[in-house]
Chain A
Amino acid sequence: MSGDITLAGGAGEYMESATIVSWSVALGDRVRAGDVVVVVETAKAATEIEAGRDGVLSEILAPEGAEVGIGAVLGRIADSLAAPAPQPASPDQSPAPAQETQPVLAPPAVAATSEHGRRINISPLARRLARQAGLDPSGLTGTGPGGRIKSRDIERALLARGAPEDQVPVARPAQAAAQAPATSAVPLVLIHGFGANAAAWNLLRPHLDGARTVLTLELPGHGRAPALAAPSLEAFAEAVLGQVEETGAQECDLVGHSLGGAVAAILSANQSVRVRSLTLIAPAGLGPEIDGAFLSGFLSARTPESLEPWLERLVGDAASLPRGYAQAVLRERERFGVAATQAAIAQHLFPDGTQAIRIAADLRRFAGPLKVVWGRADRIIPQAHQNDLPGHVACHRLDGVGHMPHVEAGALVARLVMQCVRSAAMA
Chain B
Amino acid sequence: MAMMRYAEALRAALREEMQRDPSVWLMGEDIAVYGGVFKVSRDLLEEFGPERVRDTPISEQTLTAMAVTAAMAGTRPVLEIMYADFLPLSVDALMNQASIYNYIWNGQVTMPFVLRTQGGGGAGAGAQHSKSLDALVAHIPGIKVVAPATAADAKGLLKAAIRDDHPVVFLEHKLLYNSRDEVPDGDHLVEIGKARIARAGSDVSIIASSKMVVDALKAADELAKEGISAEVVDLRTLRPLDRDTIRASIAKTHHAVVVNEGWRFCGYAAELSATIMESCFDELDAPVERVATHDIPIPYSEPLESTVLPDAAKIAAAARRALA
Contacts and interface: CB of A to CB of B under 8 A. Distances in A.
B323 to A, nearest CB: 9
Given A224-B252, A334-B194, A337-B200, A125 B324 contact: no
Contacts, number: 50
Nearest to B247: A46
Contacts of A226: 200, 202
Contacts of B245: 335
Given A144-B324, A145-B324, A224-B252, A336 B282 contact: no
B194 A46 contact: no
A229 interface: no
Contacts of B324: 144-145
B285 A336 contact: no
B197 A144 contact: no
Contacts of B73: none
Interface in A134-177: 144-145, 148, 150-151, 174
Contact of A44 (B196, B202, B244, B279): B244
B200 A125 contact: no
B281 interface: yes
B284 interface: yes
A126 B285 contact: yes
A45 B244 CA distance: 6
Interface residues of B, number: 21
B248 interface: yes
B202 A124 contact: no
A358 interface: no
B286 interface: yes
A22 B282 contact: yes
A124 B283 contact: yes
B197 A335 contact: yes
Contacts of A334: 194, 196
Given A44-B244, A226-B200, A125 B282 contact: yes
Contacts of A336: 197, 200
A127 B282 CA distance: 8
A174 B252 contact: yes
A123 B285 CA distance: 5
Interface string B193-209: 01011001010000000
Nearest to B242: A335
A150 B285 contact: yes
A224 B248 CA distance: 9
B73 to A, nearest CB: 33
B5 interface: no
Interface residues of A, number: 23
B227 to A, nearest CB: 15
Given A174-B252, A224-B252, A334-B194, A151 B285 contact: yes
Highest count of chain B CB atoms <10 Å: which of A22, A44, A124, A148: A124
A15 B194 CA distance: 20
Highest count of chain A CB atoms <10 Å: which of B194, B202, B286: B286
A224 B283 CA distance: 16
Contacts of A44: 244
B125 interface: no
B203 to A, nearest CB: 12
B251 interface: yes
Interface in A99-130: 123-128
B240 to A, nearest CB: 14
B254 interface: yes
Interface string B107-144: 00000000000000000000000000000000000000
Contacts of B281: 124
Contacts of A144: 286, 324
B197 A174 contact: no
Contacts of A127: 282
B315 to A, nearest CB: 18
A148 B287 CA distance: 11
A224 B194 CA distance: 18
A86 B207 CA distance: 51
Given A125-B284, A144-B286, A144-B324, A46 B279 contact: yes
A222 to B, nearest CB: 13
Nearest to B284: A124
A125 B256 CA distance: 13
Interface in A20-64: 21-22, 44-46
11 contacts: A45-B247, A46-B247, A123-B285, A124-B281, A124-B285, A125-B282, A125-B283, A125-B285, A151-B254, A151-B285, A174-B251
Given A46-B244, A124-B285, A224-B252, 13 more contacts: A21-B282, A44-B244, A124-B283, A124-B284, A125-B254, A126-B285, A148-B286, A150-B285, A151-B254, A174-B251, A174-B252, A226-B200, A336-B200
Nearest 3 CB-CB pairings of A with B: A125-B285, A128-B282, A123-B285
Interface of B: 194, 196-197, 200, 202, 244-245, 247-248, 251-252, 254, 279, 281-286, 321, 324
